[in-house]
Amino acid sequence: MELRKATRLVMAGALPITLALLAGCGGSVGTGGGSGSAEGFDFGASQEDVDSVIADLEPVTLTIQPYAASPDAAAAVAERSFMEAVEERSGGKISFDVAWGQSIAGYPEVDDALADGRLDIAYSVPVYFPAEYPVLDAYNKLSHYASAAPLTGEATIQAQMSEAAWNNPAAIAEYTDKGLVPLNPFVTSGNYWAACNSEGTSADDWKGRQVRIGGSAQTPISEGIGASPVSMEYGEAFEALQRGTVDCSFIQGMVAGSTGLLEAAPHVSTFGEERMTGAVTAGHVAGASFEQLPLPYQQIIFDAAGVDWFHGQISAIVSSSADAVADVRDAGGTFSEMDQDVEENILATQEEIVDGLIEDGVIEESNREELKETAQTWADAVEELGYTDDGELAELDQWYDAEGTDFRPLGEQVFEKGALEHRPS
């Protein structure tokens, strides 16, 4: 395997669902204590005010572990945006040691590493551990109500799920009960695509295919269209697709662009305007050391996570998806929409999954209706802010302007609708 492919491989997995109740709104995630006695500042305060508050504070260096394998990867923009904002806002008093590519702790170890101080801030993937994060796991199965548009759809669902998490005490408690501090509690990595090593989108084409799944919800989805779900890490999936022991993979554009997997499975099919469920996968989290920081440092970090990291995550999804589109073109692949009967089958299965969550008492019908409403609310906000899709997914790499697209104005709106109430104080 080429080095570029190998360094773009990341871990992924699937585990079964467990029960949780989804409900109402909550309080601050910071203690307001920390070392020193510095007072804090208001969200949106002038730089002059911040400089005054932190004037007598000592510099700190924090260890951070991003999702991306290297600082040059398209997926690195989230952490780069965050770190640059923190360093600028703090006048360089907060700096970072960066562990790219999960070099300190693999995803199963991230929570422990945050708790014991090996990491101060990290990208975590709680959806791999639904027994420990049942609320996030439930929302993972409710993540198909936003548009599948390659730019505006990703901005909408990131806003929708961020608001939902911050206003759900049970979601926040899944982190705080472990001694962790959520900075971005519900993170999406983008819409799922079906990527295969051969063409074919009809019901007959799907029957008998071996499909690498990206989450537990995709087991019934695969079985519903006559395919056989296979759970394996992406490191194994690339070679399995090359050898033909696996025919297809359900994969998110961000992951596809970061792993190069579409070079082995370049025939991509989607639902067009509809999303495949399973987008809520991750969290952006601080560890036990966070509450030992002076209050102004906590606030600088928290604010940058809510606005700048939020911007960077959407940008990472769209930019990495653009890389994936280029991979498909370079491999002589194709983009197509699934046949109507296959699409209808999958969409029906997704609603059956939600029905099952309601019947089991995991969620209420009101949760489903609320997410449908907020999807439209945030879609309207995205439109009002001037974000647009300037072409089709298959040409994303040709029309998306990464340098000229700033999602921070949306991040500020989302922050005020949810995270602001939890700001350290």
Mean pLDDT of 413-423: 97
DSSP 148: -
The tens digit of pLDDT for each residue in 194-251 reads 999 999 999 999 999 999 987 788 999 999 999 999 988 777 889 999 999 999 999 9
| pLDDT tens per residue, range 70-116 | 999 988 999 999 999 999 999 999 999 999 999 999 999 999 999 99
CB 213 within 8 A of CB 14: yes
Instruction: Report angle CA 85, 86, 92 to the nearest 5 degrees.
Output: 110
| Partner residues linked to 98 by β-bridges | 64
pLDDT at position 350 over 50: yes
Spatial distance between the Cα atoms of 297 and 87, rounded to a whole number of angstroms = 10
pLDDT at 400 over 80: yes
Q: What is the pLDDT of residue 263?
A: 93
Q: Hey, what domains does the chain have and what are their CATH numbers? A: 49-415 (3.40.190.170)
**Please, what is the average pLDDT of the chain?**
90
> What is the per-residue pLDDT across 167-179, written as a single tens digit (0 to 9) for each?
999 999 999 999 9
* Residue 289, amino acid: S
The count of other CB atoms within 10 Å of the CB of residue 4 is 9
Distance CA(177)–CA(23), nearest Å, equals 17
Quote the longest CA-to-CA distance of the chain.
Answer: 69
CB burial class (10 A; 0-12, 13-18, 19+) of residue 178? middle
Measure CA 237 to chain center: 21
* Chain centroid offset of residue 388 CA: 21
Higher-confidence position of 17 and 287: 287
Task: Check residues 25 and 264 and name the one with the higher pLDDT.
Answer: 264
Confidence of residue 9 (pLDDT cuts 50, 70, 90): very low
Q: What is the reported pLDDT for 224?
A: 97
Two tokens, residue 380: 């309207």
Cβ distance 375 to 157 under 8 Å?
yes
